[in-house]
Amino acid sequence: MKPPSEPLLRAGSYCKRFLLTAYLLASMTTSELILVPEYLNKVQGDTLSWRIHGAPTGDVNYTWYRGNESIEGKMLVSYISSLLSWIPGPENTGRENVTDRGFLRITEVEFSDTGNYTVVVASPEGSQEATGWIQVWEKLFQPDITVSQAAVVEYVDIVNFTCHPNNTGDFQIQWYYSYVPVSEDYQWSLSSDNRTLSGWVSRFHHGPYYCQVSNPANSQRSALQNLQIYYGPDSIDMSSIPFFYLGTINAKLGSDVTVYCQTTAQPPCLYRWLLNDTALDVTNSTFSIRTMSWGDVGTYRCIAENPTTQVVLYSTVTLQVHGD
């Protein structure tokens, strides 16, 4: 709040008195002095700027102290606005100062700066005092992440992720899958210190995974870890040209016949074919007959195998001569 300007004050005595009253009322009702926020979390090495709220301006002295009381021997720094001068106190380490708006500034914050601080704002109307707490936290470094195996079989293997924090102090560890926090459930379990995350995965859980270390003043996350997931086949999908009906393909002698075998699997399936239980020299998912003859008639079996999950499926179809 600034006093009214000169031209306004000169505009008639009634108006002048009214304005002065309004100004005094505003000063009297100056809100309570508070530190914003009352509790400040900072990381070691940071520069801190602590605001105050509700302080008068104009002819004021802002004085900061260590501790919860305004004791002379605990003074850090004082700003005398009328003299535009700064006076360091006995507790000043050369890192503390006050701005001309009364804000405390501490550079290169150290753990030993943790504690109470008190500010006194003195103006001709009286003085106000406020106390707050500064908590200095460890600067966190990026943690490392390791995984027990980067390639896993869906629903079979248990994968273990381990977080290796690069700090020794007080911090929390949180795991993330696909940027969403992971908590213990039917799939995941955590070690008591949260450093290890264990669980099974399905084909959709490829990642990314990461861990994050945090304290109230800062946080760091590890690199992203992805998984290669092996799965399938769940089913085998057979089709043919000409199409088959009730497990039978009816084709004309001399025509072309193609049988398709499809699966979804990781890694892709290996294929084998049998005709009447005799292995054919085919390793594709497609089997083609050019110019069908009587010798091609019989029961064809497609066998699909995932060499990693060791799941094997097969499907059969019978080829007969049209009209036979």
Is 295 an interacting residue with respect to ligand NAG (CB under 6 A)?
Answer: yes
DSSP string, 256-292: -EEEEEE---BSPPEEEEEETTEE-S--SSEEEESS-
Letters for 117-156 (x = contact with ligand NAG by CB under 6 A, - = none) are -----xxx----------------x---------------
Letters for 304-323 (x = contact with ligand NAG by CB under 6 A, - = none) are --------------------
Letters for 226-265 (x = contact with ligand NAG by CB under 6 A, - = none) are ----------------------------------------
Is 43 an interacting residue with respect to ligand NAG (CB under 6 A)?
Answer: no
Close Cβ partners of 232 (under 8 Å, ≥ 6 residues apart): 203, 263, 264, 265, 266, 269, 306, 309, 311
Beta carbon nearer to ligand NAG, 16 or 139: 139
Beta carbon nearer to ligand NAG, 136 or 182: 182
Whole-number Å distance between alpha carbons of 299 and 279: 12
The residues in 163-192 that bind ligand NAG, with binding defined as CB under 6 A, are 166-167, 172-174, 183
Is 38 an interacting residue with respect to ligand NAG (CB under 6 A)?
Answer: no
**CA of residue 141 relative to chain centroid, distance:** 15
Contact 290, 297 (CB under 8 A): no
The residues in 68-127 that bind ligand NAG, with binding defined as CB under 6 A, are 68-69, 77, 80, 86, 88, 92, 97, 122-124
Whole-number Å distance between alpha carbons of 222 and 213: 8
Whole-number Å distance between alpha carbons of 178 and 2: 54
Instruction: Please list the alpha-helical segments (H only) found in the chain.
Output: 6-9, 13-28
Which residue is listed with tokens 């995984």? 147
Q: Name the residues that contact ligand NAG, by CB under 6 A.
A: 59, 61, 68-69, 77, 80, 86, 88, 92, 97, 122-124, 141, 166-167, 172-174, 183, 193-194, 275-276, 295, 297-298
